[in-house]
Structure 1
C-alpha cells in the first residue's frame, strides 16, 4: 500500500504530522452514509483532518476532503453544528507523532515508517490521559517479507 498523507496535529503551537486516523471510528459508526472519494493512491481515506491538543483535550479543528459525489468536504460536512472545533469525544486510543530521522528507507505502506522517536498521546473519550516519548531503534524495524504468515 502506498504511504498515506498524514493527518495534522498542533500541540503547544507546533505543527506536526499525525500517523493516526482518529476520525475513522466516528465516521464508521456515526456517518454510514457519508462517503469520501480517494483522489490519490496516497489518500485512500479521501480527507485530511487537522487536530489540536489544547487544555488536555483532543479537538478536530478542520477537515479537507472530497465526498464521493465530488463535493468539497469540511468540518461542517461531518459536524453541521460545529463552530470552529469539535471535541473528539468518540476517540479512545493512541495518537502517534513521528519525530527525528527515519531509521530505514521508505516503507511503501500506510504509516509504517519507523523514526527515531514517537511522541505518543493516550486519549480516552477526547481527554489526553498520558503523554510519552518512545525511543525507537533500528532493531524495532521488521521487514514484512520476514513474517512467516
Structure 2
C-alpha cells in the first residue's frame, strides 16, 4: 500500500499533519463512500480539522473537505452536511495522531512512517479529554 496523504489539523493557530481519519466512522455509519483520486488517498477525501476552544472546552470540528464522488466530482463539507460550513465531530471518540519532528523511518504504506514524536490527542464525543507526546526511536532493522 502507498503512504497516504494526511489530513490537516489546526490547533493553537498552527497547522499540523494528522495521521488519523476522524470522519471515517461517520461515513461508515451514514453509508457514504468516495472514490480514490490516487493511490495516495484510498479513502477518497482529505479533511481539514480544527480544535476550537469555547468556555474552557476544546472541541473538534471538520472545517474543510475535499471529497471525490467521482474522479472529477469533488464535494465539500456543506454537501455532506447540508446547511453547515463546519461541523462539530460529536461522532468521534478515539485518538488522533499528529506526527512531529524529523522523519526517522519512512514506510511506504498507510501512516506507518515513524517521526521523532507523536502528539496524541484523546477525544470523547468530539471533546478533547487528554493529550500527550510519545517520543519515538528509529526502528531497528531486522538482521538476516
TM-score using structure 2 length: 0.90
Query: Is 1:10 paired with 2:10?
Result: yes
Deviations 1:72-124 (A, max 9, x none): 21001211121x311100001000000001112x2111000011110011010
Instruction: Answer whether contact 2:67 2:75 (CA < 8 A) is retained.
Output: yes
**In 1, distance between residues paired with 2:51 and 2:62?**
9
Alignment of 1:1-149 (within 5 A): 1-30=1-30, 32=31, 34-55=32-53, 56-68=58-70, 70-82=72-84, 84-104=85-105, 106-138=106-138, 141=139
**In 2, distance between residues paired with 1:142 and 1:93?**
29
Q: Which structure dedicates a bigger proportion of its chain to strand?
A: 2
Instruction: Answer whether contact 2:37 2:71 (CA < 8 A) is retained.
Output: no
Deviations 1:46-72 (A, max 9, x none): 110000011111000010121037422
**In 2, distance between residues paired with 1:142 and 1:4?**
23
TM-score using structure 1 length: 0.87
**Secondary structure of the corresponding residue to residue 42 of structure 1:** coil
Q: Which structure dedicates a bigger proportion of its chain to helix?
A: 1
**In 2, distance between residues paired with 1:89 and 1:97?**
20
- Structure 1 residues 117 and 66: alpha-carbon distance in aligned structure 2, compared to 1, 3 A threshold: same
What RMSD in Å do the two structures reach over aligned CA positions? 1.7
**In 2, distance between residues paired with 1:5 and 1:117?**
19
**Secondary structure of the corresponding residue to residue 103 of structure 1:** strand
Give the unaligned 5+ runs of structure 1: none
Instruction: Answer whether contact 2:2 2:110 (CA < 8 A) is retained.
Output: yes
